Structure 1
């Protein structure tokens, strides 16, 4: 799973910036972000990992993610044709071990009520994943 390997490198890199991450979080019905990161001051970043041109071209939902974060980034491998990516987006070059932020996504602060909802979703998602890791036979009642 190339996208999951990119997500791992992104998560490792962001941990070095004091961010914690979860993968495959659903901010709203019909959306599932690859990586959501929570910073030390409550900032929320979303990172979409694209492993190929075809993977990028098949994604028509990414603009829906913008309303759920303070900053948005693409994470791609070193051989990815970055000219395909929308201008003004954040950009990370990643592999399975690390990443590098080449461009910061523009900051658009979330409203306080939406930030609270997202931090709660983040916490619940992380807790369900931790419980499932501790108890592999545990059935996730709401799809985790």
Structure 2
């Protein structure tokens, strides 16, 4: 049996990997663990080919969802908001006016679409710039780990 060296240990990271794979299959540009504003950190954010910003929050269990008091703050930073959960997660906990994705470490499927709520243009422009900067810094760090001493976002 071949062991996948890139398979994360934590359940939330496994869900995020499956979600990222699905979003890439939709031709989205995907970034995991992104901070759109001070005090907020989203699990997955993506830019669709048409420019929509999607945020996906990965919840590995009931307690993980119940403890999340910030998720409503993410809505203003996306055009579409989804939850990603595994097959055993109790769907009835999740707000029905948000998107739902079933995921595991290898892939994901949209079960319920998220309503489209367009962001303001200025916020979108800033967010896309910030996503591009973070992605570029992370890529450079992978290609040349000794390039800079600055901490990575």
Counterpart CA distance in 2 for 1:55 and 1:139 is: 35
Aligned pairs for 1:76-115 (under 5 A) are: 76-115=85-124
Counterpart CA distance in 2 for 1:123 and 1:36 is: 12
Displacement of 1:69 in angstroms is: 0.4
Q: Which moved more, 1:64-73 or 1:126-135?
A: 126-135
Counterpart CA distance in 2 for 1:140 and 1:119 is: 25
Displacement of 1:135 in angstroms is: 2.5
Match of 1:22 in 2: 31
Higher Cα Rg, which structure: 2
Q: Please give the secondary structure, in 2, of the residue aligned with 1:127.
A: helix
Match of 2:76 in 1: 67
Match of 1:127 in 2: 136
Count of aligned pairs between the two proteins: 144
Counterpart CA distance in 1 for 2:89 and 2:54 is: 21
Displacement of 1:139 in angstroms is: 4.9
Counterpart CA distance in 2 for 1:59 and 1:40 is: 30
1:30-75, CA deviations, whole angstroms, 9 ceiling, x for partnerless residues?
0000000111111100000001111111100000000000000000
When the two chains are superposed, the root-mean-square deviation of aligned CA atoms in Å is 1.2
Q: Please give the secondary structure, in 1, of the residue aligned with 2:31.
A: strand
Match of 1:58 in 2: 67
Q: Is the 8 A contact 2:55 2:74 kept in 1?
A: yes
TM-score by length of 2: 0.90
TM-score by length of 1: 0.95
